[in-house]
Amino acid sequence: MTALSETRAGRRAGYAFRPPASLAIICLLIALAIAALIALTMGAAGIPLARLPAALGLWTDATPAPTLARDQLVLWSIRIPRIAAAAMVGALLATSGAIMQGLFRNPLADPAMVGVSSGGAFAAAAAIVITDSAIGASLRFMQHQLLPVAAFAGSLVTTIVLYAIASRSGRTSIAIFLLAGIALAAIANAGIGLLVFVADDRQLRDITFWLLGSLSGVTWPKLAALAPVLGIGLVACLWIARGLDVLVLGEAEAFHSGVDVERLKRISIVLVSAMTGVAVSVCGVVGFVGIVVPHLLRLVIGPAHRLLLPASMLLGAVLLVGADTLARTIVAPAEMPIGVLTAAVGAPFFLGMLLRQRGLVSL
């Protein structure tokens, strides 16, 4: 009896149970709604759940007018843009991680870890310093618009260099990929260090503000850069999903199966760079979201990208809304940089992943 059940358990190992796609998406949407609700009520100025509908303008109740006015101010000009930004940044980072992992056929790829975020951060820091100096003074009025563009360009250059170094005749070496990523991150960080060195006090505050990775400065105009990239990203993700699936067979085999591999690579690289760059331009380098989220999802819903990419968007949003809520409450009234928080949780997770795969991944 015992022997029989043991063999059954043994046989079951390696079998995949995949929940239906609609169920997964619905669960994630519910989780996002709950996370957003909690985030709305918590913070330096607490707004109990009972007062929330009135503050949101859904219906009026007995809340005294001054309290209502204060609640509305907190919600609409601080908390809602911030939650929206956290959700969108989380979605962008998690999805760009998932795309990058698909592109490199490597579950350990993460834009923050291999220098793509740092490249974006360096370009954005350079944009801050230049627009603030005499040379770029004429561009100062459009600093808000320039920052995401610069970050995108920085991320794009880094990703292209990384791909050129790590891929050789259609094969990507995991070891070279990770090592090159570390080197590129170091170069970008050295550049950032140099900028910090030459920056004056005001620029320095601007730079360090988001280098730490914080969502505290988010305003409605900043969201304007995030939303279109997220929208385009979602559509593009569904478009490249099948190609990324087939790419798991290797570039040659994907080509044999009818995938235009070169085009797929170009689209993926631009997409990863745009998503990472824009996210970085809003809140600095937030690591490990891109690696933790797709990995967790693959365990539950499987690796097929048509579901994995949208699901990564949702779970990334949930995770970062949660992390941001935590960041602004655990040391209230001060605030923990969110990058510190995600690294504190994500890095041990990553190490755990490495330990589990030690026998499977050959570098």
Residues in the interface with another protein (CB under 8 A) total: 28
Q: Residue 13 interacts with another protein (CB under 8 A)?
A: yes
Query: Do residues 265 and 159 make contact, with C-beta atoms less than 8 angstroms apart?
Result: no
Give the side-chain half-sphere CA count within 13 A for 313: 21
Two structure tokens written together for 352: 């755990």
Q: How far is the CB of 169 from another protein (least distance, A)?
A: 9
Residues numbered 107-136 forming contacts with another protein, rule: CB under 8 A: 107
Candidate segments 21-29, 68-76, 194-202, 299-307, binder of another protein by CB under 8 A: 299-307
Of 98 and 286, the one with the shorter C-beta distance to another protein is 98
User: Which H helix or E strand runs over 171?
Assistant: strand 171-172
Site string for another protein, 232-271 (x = CB under 8 A): ----------x--xx-xxx-xx-xxxxxxx----------
Cα four-point dihedral sign 194, 200, 203, 208: positive
For the record, the structure tokens of 208 come out as 């360090």
Provide, rounded to whole angstroms, the least separation between the CB of residue 93 and another protein.
20
Distances (CA, A) of 230 to 94, 145, 218, 286: 12, 16, 17, 17
281 vs 338: CA distance, rounded Å: 15
CB of 44 to another protein, least distance (A): 43
Instruction: Give yes or no for a contact between 185 and 150, defined as CB atoms under 8 angstroms apart.
Output: no
Q: How far is the CB of 255 from another protein (least distance, A)?
A: 6
Smallest gap, in angstroms, from Cβ of residue 24 to another protein?
16
Task: Give the angle 113-119-120 at the CA atoms, nearest 5°.
Answer: 105
The CA distance from 61 to 123, in Å, is 49
Minimum CB–partner distance for residue 256 and another protein (Å): 4
Assigned token pair, 123: 């370009």
| Residues present in the chain in total | 363
Question: Of 16 and 355, which has the nearer Cβ to another protein?
Answer: 16
Query: Of these, 42, 63, 105, 353, which contacts another protein (CB under 8 A)?
Result: 105
- Orientation angle between helical segments 143-166 and 220-247, nearest 10 degrees: 20
The contact pattern for another protein, residues 272-291, with x = CB under 8 A and - = no contact, is --------------------
Q: Which is nearer to another protein, 184 or 259 (CB)?
A: 259
CB of 113 to another protein, least distance (A): 17
Instruction: Report the interface residues with another protein, using CB under 8 A.
Output: 13-16, 18, 105-107, 242, 245-246, 248-250, 252-253, 255-261, 298, 302-304, 360
